[in-house]
Structures are given as C-alpha cells and as structure tokens.
Structure 1
Amino acid sequence: MKKALVVLSGGQDSTTCLFWALENFDEIKAVSFDYGQRNEIELEFAKQICEQHNISHQIVNMDLLSELTNNSLTKHYIEIEEKEGGVPNTFVDGRNMLFLTFAAIVAKNNDIRHVVTGVSQEDFSGYPDCRNVFIKSLNTTLNLAMDYEFELETPLIFLNKEETWKLAYDLGVFDIIKENTVTCYEGKPGAGCGECPACKLRSEGLKKFLERKEKNHE
C-alpha cells in the first residue's frame, strides 16, 4: 500500500496537494502546525476538510517558533509589508525546514515514506525555503538523519498560481479550494481581504485561469 503524509496548512496550495495525494496514494494522513500564526483560522479549515473526507489529521503545537522569530505572521503588532526585492517580512525563519523535519518524524513513525508539501518556487514570494534546491537538499538530509528513504513530494514546485488553479479544476475540487481555504494573511477565508500579498497573488492567478478557461471555450 502506497501511503503519504500531507503537510496541510488549510490554504490553497496545501489543500490542492491534499486532493492531489488522494488521487495518487492509497492512504493519506495530514499534519498541520500551530505556530502562533495570525491567520490561525486556517487550522480550522484544515481540520474541517479532513473531517469531511475522512482523512486522519494531526495538529502539532510549535508555539516556540513564534517566540524565536520576528515577522509579521507571528508578531501581530508588525504590519505586513510589500517590497521589491529581498525577503518579505512575512517570511518565518526556518518554518518549512522545521515543518518538513517534524512531518518526516511523524511519517516515519507511521510507516510512511512520501511527504507531500505545497511549496512553489514559481510564484515568487521571496521565500528561500520554497526553492526546489532547498527541498532536494533537505530530502537528502532527512534520509541521512533518520536512515530512512523519504520522498519529499512537491506537486506545485514548478507551477504558478494560474496553473495551481487549473490543477484544482482538473482534480474536481475547484469550488472547495475557492471557497473553503484560507490563503489570506489576515485570516479571511475564500477570496480573503483582497489587499495582502497572498490575496493578490491568489486573485491574480484565479483571474488568469478563468480568462484562459473562457478563451478555450470560445
């Protein structure tokens, strides 16, 4: 039996990956992380999605991460800023490295080798831990650290937001992703606040997907 563990935030990308995993594996489990994020409502959406589709779901407390880092996602008094070049202040130092490390521990203890994550280096966010080179490096490190053959699966790594919307559509879960995920940094579900960088990226990708879909049906 081919099994996978999905790192599920409750946002567009990871939820799309959850349904991708349902199509590609015999059995899946999901793990989410509570790290004091300002959009913590995403955890409720992750929990609901898993309950609705009978998926085993575990939430791991990682509050320590918010104590060690200074960023606008874990420090509510820091205003979210958009800037050209450099790493944005929504970047949480070490987040994906720690999440994937802890996910690998969960996976190994559940006899799972495939760990699915929704990172993408194509939708430029300035996050260094969303790059393919980082994923490949960490995959090797995890294998060596635990003497276990993990496979970090990244279905979205080379997809932009328009292509991610198309994948959701092809998987038959477009409406679920559109209405029942939380991408917004302010924790507003669906289309979100429309103003934060995450909402703008999501909205622009959706617009391009719908325009291309309409054009193809003309």
Structure 2
Amino acid sequence: MLKNEKAVVVFSGGQDSTTCLFWALQNFSEVETVTFDYGQRHKLEIECAQQIAEELGVKNTILDMSLLNQLAPNALTRSDIDITHEDGELPSTFVEGRNHLFLSFAAVLGKQSGARHLITGVCETDFSGYPDCRDVFVKSLNVTLNLAMDYEFVIHTPLMWLDKAETWAMAHKLSAYEFVRERTLTCYNGIIGDGCGECPACLLRKAGLDKFLLTRSEESHL
C-alpha cells in the first residue's frame, strides 16, 4: 500500500472499474470514486456505481457530462441507434472523447481533493478498437494533464494488458470474484451480474469468465 497516497477511480460500476476499485483499495491509503452521467441508456449504471461505492465505504461523486450525448450520438446514449460492430469500423457504442474527458475531469477533482493518482479500467487487449483505450493515449494524456495543471498526476491502468479472463483472475486474487460477478453492471441491456448473455459486452465478459473458470478447473486437477 502507498502510505498517505490518495487515488481517484473512474467508476462506472462495471466489471473492469470495480476490479480496479478493489485494486486501488489494496494499493492506496485513501480512495474515492467519480462516476459520470453522460446520458447513458440505463440510469441503473449510476445507481449500481453508487451502491457499490457505499458498500465498500468510499466516496462517490457524480458529475454531469450530458454534453457528450449532445456532441457525440452513440448507441450507449441513444435508444434509436442499434448496437453494431462492422469489420474495419468502430462499434456504434464508441463515445467520442469519453475517456479523454472523464480522465481530465477526474484530474480536476483529484487535484482539489489532494489525490495524485488516477485509476481507469481501460484495456488495449479487449478494447473493441476504441482509440482512447490505448496505452499510448493514456501516457500522452498523463503528460498533458501534468503540464496543464502543474501537478504530478500518475494515471494507473491495472487492466491495460489483460484479457477478460485475466481480469477475472485479478478479481479472484483480490478476493473480489463473487462480488464482481454478482454486483457489477456490464450489460448494454442493463441487467446486473451475468447480464443478458447476448449483447457484445456480455459475450466478451462471458467468454473471459468461461476461460478463467476452465483454467482454474485445469489447475485444480494438476
């Protein structure tokens, strides 16, 4: 644990950000979360984030980012846009500038509260081609934020090089597997836990879960 170090977790209440929250609680002496309301289809996502933060005893701040919905129409905020992913194109769930803005506002919040560490669950392994989930982007933004705010931020990406099976394995190592599986909301159709089983987010989550459980089963028989 980093003594006397405070961290802010960009938190949606989903599998990845909740795993990151458990990771932060193990590695920092003080942790808080920030959740963004950008007009997502399911308000349950925000409620889920609030409930998890309360149960784990961390402060949760909700910030209004509804301007994103106005500027960047996408399938996560518009019910009249289908969830699609064509080869060679970004998925319709991509929200232009989301991680850029989320991390920038998390930095403002962090500086005001005395936190130098920002944590996000972005991942370049299972990232659906989103450009703002790439390691090069995060490192670039880290430099920019430090220069723009004259403050020594460190952006942590614990899941950057992990696939979904390895993310489940991390949750297990953090003694958070059952919590993450039962309490988080990843499903694009707003179903907590294992979800609808049909949307792209659920399919990715389940494929990773199946691989993780298979690996554990094989290891137990060694």
Match of 1:35 in 2: 38
Instruction: Please tell me whether residue 110 in structure 1 is matched to residue 113 in structure 2.
Output: yes
Q: 1:63 aligns with which of 44, 61, 66?
A: 66
Structure 1 residue ranges without an equivalent (≥5)? none
Instruction: Please tell me whether residue 195 in structure 1 is matched to residue 176 in structure 2.
Output: no
DSSP-derived class of the 1:119 partner: coil
**1:195 positional shift:** 1.0
Deviation digits for residues 152-208 of structure 1 (CA, Å, limit 9, x no counterpart): 000000000000000000000101100100001111111111111111000000000
**1:105 positional shift:** 0.2
Q: 1:76 aligns with which of 55, 75, 79?
A: 79
Deviation digits for residues 64-116 of structure 1 (CA, Å, limit 9, x no counterpart): 11011121111111011132222111000000000000000000000110000
In the aligned structure 1, how far is the partner of 2:108 from the partner of 2:202?
A: 32
Q: 1:132 aligns with which of 127, 135, 138?
A: 135
Say how many residue pairs are matched.
Answer: 218
Q: 1:146 aligns with which of 145, 149, 157?
A: 149
Paired amino acid for 1:76: S
In the aligned structure 1, how far is the partner of 2:30 from the partner of 2:84?
A: 40
Match of 1:93 in 2: 96
Moved more, 185-194 or 90-99: 185-194
Contact 2:6 2:115 (C-alpha < 8 Å) held by counterparts: yes
In the aligned structure 2, how far is the partner of 1:69 from the partner of 1:124?
A: 19
Contact 1:39 1:184 (C-alpha < 8 Å) held by counterparts: no
Contact 1:85 1:126 (C-alpha < 8 Å) held by counterparts: no
Contact 2:12 2:49 (C-alpha < 8 Å) held by counterparts: yes
**1:45 positional shift:** 1.1
In the aligned structure 2, how far is the partner of 1:183 from the partner of 1:54?
A: 22
In the aligned structure 1, how far is the partner of 2:155 from the partner of 2:170?
A: 19
In the aligned structure 1, how far is the partner of 2:162 from the partner of 2:43?
A: 26
Moved more, 199-208 or 188-197: 188-197
DSSP-derived class of the 1:26 partner: strand
Match of 2:161 in 1: 158
In the aligned structure 1, how far is the partner of 2:82 from the partner of 2:200?
A: 12
Return the TM-score normalized by structure 2: 0.97
Match of 1:44 in 2: 47
DSSP-derived class of the 2:152 partner: coil
DSSP-derived class of the 2:62 partner: strand
Return the TM-score normalized by structure 1: 0.98
Match of 1:11 in 2: 14
Match of 2:5 in 1: 2
Q: 2:181 aligns with which of 174, 178, 181?
A: 178
